[in-house]
Every structure is written in C-alpha cells, then in structure tokens.
Amino acid sequence: MTHQDPHSGEPISNLLAVQSDAMAKRIDAMIQLQSEMFDTLEGFTRAWLARAKTETRRVSELSTKLAAARSLPEGTTAYQEWLSEGMQLMTDDNRRIVADGQRFMQSGMRLLGNGHAPAN
C-alpha cells in the first residue's frame, strides 16, 4: 500500500522524488555560483599581484634614474615622469576597483538569490 499526500492525492514517493530533484538542481546552481565567485576573487588577486609587481618595478626604475641624474633638472624630470605614470595607474586602479566590486556584488546577489540573475 502506498501512502498518499492528503492534499494532492499523489503518492508520497512521487512528491519526495520531485522535491529531491528540485533540491539537487538548487545545490548544483549554488555550487556553480560559488565556483564563479571564487574564480572572480582569484582574478582580483592575480590583477592586484600584477599591480604590486608593477609598482615594485616602477620604484626600482625611479631609484635608478635618480641615482644616475647628473643635475637637479634631470632628477626632477625623472620624478615628474614617475608621478605622471603613477597618477595614470591610480586612475586605472580606481576603474578596476569599481568594476571588480560590481562583478563581486553581482556574483553575490546571484548566490544569495539561489541562482537567479539580479534585475538590471
């Protein structure tokens, strides 16, 4: 004898199978979104490590140029070039921070929303 759901009249084993399938799909979606979020974070880390290497290289180059400068104007020019490049890099950093933050928030919203993309 099979037990039936008193509301739908359907066998309980069928209801459990449907619920189990739905739960498996939700878990798969959550795992996929978590993987996406970790991939996003890994990309952030790679970009910032590359940026740190760039800054190390820049400081080393500035030191070399300042040490080789034979006059105050040469040293001033080297420093101005370094500052100008640094300002451009900071502008790029700010753009990256905003873009990375948006991607991270979108991933988080999808994760919290059980796999549904947020409305734009």
Q: What is the pLDDT of residues 78-109, one digit of tens each?
A: 999 999 999 999 999 999 999 988 888 887 78
Report if residue 55 sits inside a domain: yes
How many structural domains is the chain composed of? 1
Does 48 fall in a domain? yes
- Give per-residue pLDDT as tens, 17-66: 777 888 888 888 888 888 888 888 898 899 999 999 999 999 999 999 99
pTM of the model as a whole: 0.62
The reply to whether 28 falls in a domain is no
Domain residues for 64?
34-112
Classify residue 43: in a domain, yes or no.
Answer: yes
Q: Say if 104 falls within a structural domain.
A: yes
3-state helix, strand, coil in the chain (%, to 5): 80, 0, 15
In a domain, 99, yes or no: yes
- Asked, for residue 77, whether it belongs to a domain, the answer is yes
